[in-house]
Amino acid sequence: MKSLIKQLVETPGPSGFEYEIRDVIREAIGDAADEVRVDALGSLIAKKGVKTEQGQRVMISAHIDEIGLMVTHVDDSGFLRFTNIGGVNPMTCYGGRVLFMDGTRGVIGMDSIERGKTPKLTDLFIDVGATSKEDCPVKVGDVCGFERPFIDLGKRMVAKSMDDRVAAAVAIEVLRRLESTPHEVHFVFSTQEEVGLRGATTAAYGVDPDLGFAIDVTRSGDTPRFSPKMATALGDGPAIKVRDSSFIADPRLVDWMIKAAEEAGLPYQLEVLEAGGTDGRAIQLTRGGVPAGCVSIACRYIHSPSEMVDSDDVENAVQLLVKLLSEPIVLK
């Protein structure tokens, strides 16, 4: 799975510009799905299984977009000012490298600001090595992602867009391993999550599921001093979401996931995320309302160029999802 994760995290795809990563995912899915389509906002929707009498129409959503930058101004010397796509922290930008969708590379520089002050995005600029506006290959509206290679630390893995490509890898692996299911499962590889769950909103309307859940990363509370107020830790198993600031998981889904994990002897942890949202909200609030939840992978340093996850958590998440989808779903 590590090579799949490496391939997914190293493909650029800021929100709204997911066409390359979508092609990579379509290729990775191959013939593991019965049917693949792309909706108006660019989400890739892979259907597997036929709904039996005990079956349901299930939507699973993993977002394929990542945070990035968009150029707002090219000055006479060829330096670029930019705005954020999704939650970009200016603190992690300076000295970083970016990759434009056409392959152009650049580095992030900073205006001289008062020592010790945290820069704002407006204090930063991109330098693509141009000598003037005329020879600058980038124009207003062009989009770039952060560029960092995947690193394998053994048990732990680090990359720029574990959020949420690690979940896309989980979904692909589940598609591959799922041998039989009583359900009609729609694996949605959603777009524009980082700018407001937009892709999942239209995908959920289109799929019209009986039940659904997101797969996403969540923060971990296991770093030194003043770590996030979170019970989650890397390596403690897939996290079953109870709530985040965008939605409250259906308690019946929480119980269903806990029971499945315990039956299968898989580690799991419970997640309460005070600041952050997922596609689960978009599924829950579509049409007349849908029971919805989320399975999370604990992740350190989210929205930095070095997001860290645990490989056992990833494997256990796959096993949990295969178990969940292989059997009839009884919500109590």
Partner 1 sequence: MTENQKIQASNIPTIGNRQIKLLEKLCNASAVSGDEQEVRNIVLEEIKPVADEIKVDALGNVLATKFGHGENRVRVMLAAHMDEIGFMIVKKHDDNLFQFERIGGIDERQLPGKAVLVGRDHLPGVIGAKPIHMTTADERKNKIPVDALRIDLGPEIGEKVKPGDRATFATRFKRFGPSIQAKALDDRFGVAILIELLKHAPENIDLLAAFTVQEEVGLRGARVAAYRFDPDMAIAVDSTPAYDLPHWDDEDQNVQYNTRLDAGPAIYVMDRATIADRRLVTLLSDAAQEEEIPYQFRQPGGGGTDAGVIHKTRAGIPSISVSVPSRYAHSAIGLARVDDWANTLRLLYAALVRVTPDLLAGERRG
Q: Which of 101, 107, 242, 266 binds partner 1 (CB under 8 A)?
A: 101
19 touching partner 1, by CB under 8 A: yes
203 touching partner 1, by CB under 8 A: yes
70 touching partner 1, by CB under 8 A: yes
Q: For residues 247 and 263, what is the distance between their CA atoms, to the nearest angstrom?
A: 27
Q: For residues 45 and 60, what is the distance between their CA atoms, to the nearest angstrom?
A: 10
35 is catalytic: no
Q: From the candidates 10, 18, 184, 193, give the one annotated as an active-site residue.
A: 193
Nearest distance in Å: CB 116, partner 1: 23
- Report the helix count and the strand count for the chain, using DSSP H and E: 7, 17
Nearest distance in Å: CB 76, partner 1: 7
Q: Which of 61, 181, 192, 311 binds partner 1 (CB under 8 A)?
A: 192
161 touching partner 1, by CB under 8 A: no
140 touching partner 1, by CB under 8 A: yes
Walk across the sheet containing 151-153 and list its strands: 151-153, 156-159, 307-310
Q: For residues 325 and 315, what is the distance between their CA atoms, to the nearest angstrom?
A: 16
Q: For residues 13 and 5, what is the distance between their CA atoms, to the nearest angstrom?
A: 14
71 touching partner 1, by CB under 8 A: yes
73 touching partner 1, by CB under 8 A: yes
Nearest distance in Å: CB 328, partner 1: 28
**Stretches 198-206, 217-225, 249-257, 312-320: which one binds partner 1 (CB under 8 A)?**
198-206
Q: For residues 70 and 83, what is the distance between their CA atoms, to the nearest angstrom?
A: 5
Q: Binders of partner 1: how many residues, by CB under 8 A? A: 34
Using alpha carbons, select from 273, 280, 276 the residue that is nearest to residue 294.
280
CB burial readout 138-173, b (16+ within 10 A) else e = beeebbbbbbbebeeeeebbbbbbbbbbbbbbbbbb
DSSP E strands in the chain: the ranges are 35-38, 44-48, 57-63, 68-74, 79-85, 97-100, 105-110, 124-127, 143-146, 151-153, 156-159, 184-190, 211-219, 239-243, 269-272, 292-299, 307-310
Nearest distance in Å: CB 206, partner 1: 4
Q: Which of 141, 154, 224, 265 binds partner 1 (CB under 8 A)?
A: 141
Using alpha carbons, select from 251, 247, 255, 331 the residue that is nearest to residue 284.
247
> Hey, what are 217's tokens?
């990363």
Nearest distance in Å: CB 141, partner 1: 4
198 touching partner 1, by CB under 8 A: yes
Q: Which of 22, 48, 160, 219 binds partner 1 (CB under 8 A)?
A: 22
38 touching partner 1, by CB under 8 A: yes
Residues annotated as catalytic (active site), given as ranges: 193
The residues that touch partner 1, with contacts defined as CB under 8 A, are: 15-19, 22, 38-42, 70-73, 75-76, 81, 83, 85, 101, 122, 139-141, 143, 192, 195, 198, 201-203, 205-206
